Amino acid sequence: MSLEEPTSSPPQVLVTGASGYVASHLVQHLLVGGKVKVRGTVRSLKNESKSAPLMKLVPDAKYPLELVEADLLNEESWIEAVKGCDYVYHVASPIIRLGATVSDEQNEIIKPAVDGTLNVLKACVAAGTVKRVVITSSVAAVSGGFIAPRDTPYTEEDWVDESTVPAYEKSKALAEKAAWDFVGKLDEDKKFELATINPSFIIGPPLTLATSDGFSLGSVKKVFTKKVPAIVHVSMAMVDVRDVAAAHIAAMETPEAAGQRYCVDSGRNLWWKEVADIMTEEFGPQGYKPASFVMPKIGVGILKFFDDTLKRVYPMIGKTVTFNSAKMRSQLGIEPRDPKISIIDSCYGLIEIGAVEKTPLYKGRTDDESKGDAKQEEKTKE
């Protein structure tokens, strides 16, 4: 199946949660490609901080972006959103914002993830036009995230025991399992193809200010701006948000991707101290002073009782969890960026969208760096 198949009119594609970190990049990729009509969902069209930046992503797009309202727990809203669509990227899911406290995990995280996924899939059945759905899952559904180290890398064959992990990781596992189960039980005349993208810790430049405070990019931002007292000794498997978006598109266009999961990862882990050192090397001369002190484990153990973020990362201290992304490379043709490049681009992106202030010494990216990034984009497209 390919989005390039000749038709009398371009295919209609839906991107759920279009204002999100990954989804906004996906929308941009699709609009720039100009092969499809793109419809995106947002919770409220009245929220200009979310919808207006999306309309400015590709102002000269061949087919202008269409935005519609839909809510994960409002089943009826998805009927209209999916109507007439050929392909659906289900990216929307509850997220944990850095430092935020969740009082009701079942209703705030797990239920919206699972029921929201099923509501979208039910709407795909009702539409009767959908050929393939690509769902954004996570390595949380594979390994439980980064808290279960083992001697060999995790692969797409692995599934976490959701009863052993925190709410977010549990929500990703339950939502993905629910999706595979739902599609597997459909009558043949109602079936559509399904693929899932399971990215590791996502970094890379944000496209909008609203996406700068999620758990992953928010963590980068806090280290970069020294808004954390110290760094925790944690190793992260990382992947660039632009490579995640490209993987979604490849999973939709690649025939053999039907029925497959894909671990999407750069293949290189970084300790947070390494991340800070990368930031300091690039941005120290430009007036920035990222966090540099590594907090002893005993200190984290004490402070985790007063900080939900430290409580969340405490089990990960000193551990390394890796993922095998060979299938992503061989089947989807994605050659991921070096996470060092992604860290640098994350920081430049945060500065350029106004999430981090410019210092008097700030010079911005050089022409050579911009050209290098353009070459990476072309390499991924090939």
Domain CATH for 168: 3.40.50.720
User: Over the stretch 232-276, which tens digit does the pLDDT of each residue have?
Assistant: 999 999 999 999 999 999 999 999 999 999 999 999 999 999 999
Q: Residue 367 falls within a domain, yes or no?
A: no
Q: Residue 355 falls within a domain, yes or no?
A: no
User: Over the stretch 307-321, which tens digit does the pLDDT of each residue have?
Assistant: 877 887 888 899 899
pLDDT at 223: 96
Q: Residue 229 falls within a domain, yes or no?
A: no
Q: Residue 280 falls within a domain, yes or no?
A: no
Strand duo 193-199 + 132-136: pairing: parallel
Looking at the chain, the whole-number percentage of residues with pLDDT higher than 70 is 92
Are the CB atoms for 267 and 325 separated by under 8 Å?
Answer: yes
Q: Which residue has the higher pLDDT, 374 or 35?
A: 35
pLDDT at 372: 45
Q: Domain total for the chain?
A: 1
pLDDT at 365: 86
pLDDT at 146: 82
pLDDT at 82: 98
**Separation CA 235–CA 261 (nearest Å):** 24
Q: Residue 348 falls within a domain, yes or no?
A: no
pLDDT at 371 over 50: no
Are the CB atoms for 39 and 63 separated by under 8 Å?
Answer: no
- Averaged over 72-78, what is the pLDDT? 96
Please provide the DSSP assignment of 88-154 as one string. Answer: EEE------BTT---S-HIIIIIHHHHHHHHHHHHHHHHHS---EEEEE--GGGTTSSSS---SS-B
pLDDT at 368 over 70: no
pLDDT at 197 over 60: yes
Q: Chain-wide mean pLDDT for the chain?
A: 92
Which residues face 119 on adjacent strands? none
pLDDT at 71: 96
Q: Which domain holds residue 162?
A: 12-204+239-267+322-336
Q: Residue 294 falls within a domain, yes or no?
A: no
Is the full-model pTM beyond 0.75?
yes
Q: Residue 44 falls within a domain, yes or no?
A: yes
pLDDT at 286 over 90: yes
**Separation CA 273–CA 296 (nearest Å):** 13
Q: Residue 219 falls within a domain, yes or no?
A: no
pLDDT at 382: 46
- Averaged over 2-11, what is the pLDDT? 65
Which residues face 198 on adjacent strands? 263
pLDDT at 281 over 80: yes
The pLDDT-based confidence of 14 (bands split at 50, 70, 90) is very high
pLDDT at 236: 94
